[in-house]
Structure 1
C-alpha cells in the first residue's frame, strides 16, 4: 500500500526561514568573535593572537622597581607617542600608585601582568584564577577601569591558561617582536631587535628596573619605527581586524 505525506507549504517556508536566520545569526556572532578576541580554539589546538594588521603596538611590562618606569613614560610623552600599552604586575601597581596614575594621565592603556611573578603553566587552575583576580582587585582600588588585557607574568601559557583567562573575560596577549631588553644586551642590540618591527606587530619592551638600557634605546627605537606605522594600543590593533594567530603547543 502506498502512503502519501502532505507537507504544508507555508509551514515549510517558515521553518526554512527560521533555520536560515539562525544560521546567519550564528555566522555573524562567530565572525565578530574571531575579529575582536585574542584567543580561540581550532581543530588543530588552541591559538593565541600575536599581531594584527594596522599600526604598531608598543608594550611595556613592569614587575618591579621605581627607577626606569617614569623616565620611559616621560620619553613617550615628549616624543608625542600618544598610544602604548603598559602591562602592570598587581603587586607592583599597589606599591607604586603614583606611577600608575601617571600612566593613566598620559593616556596610555593598562593591561594586567597578573599579581605575582609566577609561571601559570606550573599552577593549578584555582591559583591561576586567584592570581589574576587579585591583580584585578588592585586595579579596581586604583580606579583603573576596563582592564581586559592579560599577559602572563613569565610570558608562558598553554591551553589551560588561555581557557581560564577567557572565562574571566580577559584577552591573552603575546607578542611578535621581542627586543630582549631585559637581558641588557647593549643599546645597539636592543635597537637592532626593535628595528625588525613591521606594521601590525606587538613589540615587547620592559620598564622594570632590570631593563637598565631600555630608556637609552627608546629614542632611537621610536625614530626608526615612526615611519613604519602609527603607534597604537593593543586594543586598537586588535580591533583593526586581520588578526594573526600562533599555535599553542
Structure 2
C-alpha cells in the first residue's frame, strides 16, 4: 500500500495521518489505538519509529554523544500504565538502588536542547550547584558548565546551573522542564531504554510549541520518512 510517510506499512496514508494527528495531540498509545482502530502493538511500533526519527532530527540540530544507558533486569521498577513503556518510575522510593537518569538542558538561540549524562552522579550535581572546587577534578565538569540546568529523574528535580543573567533563557529552561515533568507524569514511568526517545520528543514538542505540530511532523516525514524494513 502506497504511503510516502511510512515505507513498507500495510496502512493507508490517510490512516497514518490520523494516527500522526493523534500523536501530535499527545495522546497515549492506548488512546490512539482505541480511536484509530489499529492494534496497540502496531501503534507502539509506529510511535517508536516516529520517536527515533524525531531524535535523529534533534541530533542534527545539536549533535551529542550517543546516550549510554546500561540495562539490567534488576534496574526495572514497575508502574501502573498500560502502554508498555513504564518500567522505570520517574520518582521512586528505591532511587538509591536504581541508577537515576540524569540529563542536561541548554538553550541555544531560540531552541532548547537536551543530553543524557550517564557519567554524571548526584554528588557531582550537588557539588556544581554549590560551586565546590571538587568539580575541577572531575572529567565531566566541563560538560556540566555548558548547561543551564540538570535534571535528576530519580528525584524528579531540576537543578539550575551557571551564572546566566538572561532571565528569558532560564524561563525557557523552567518551561521545558514543566512540559517534560507533565508528560512523564502522564506515563507514570518509562522504560530506561526509551527514556532518551521520550526526552527528545519533549525537546521537539517544546521547540515547536508555537507551531502546528502535526504540520511540522508531516514536513519532517517528507524528508525523513519512516521505514518498517
- Place the TM-score, normalised by the shorter chain, in its bin: under 0.3
More strand by share: 1
Q: TM-score, normalised by structure 2?
A: 0.26
- Which structure is higher in RCO with an 8 Å CA cutoff and minimum separation 6? 1
More helix by share: 2
Q: TM-score, normalised by structure 1?
A: 0.24
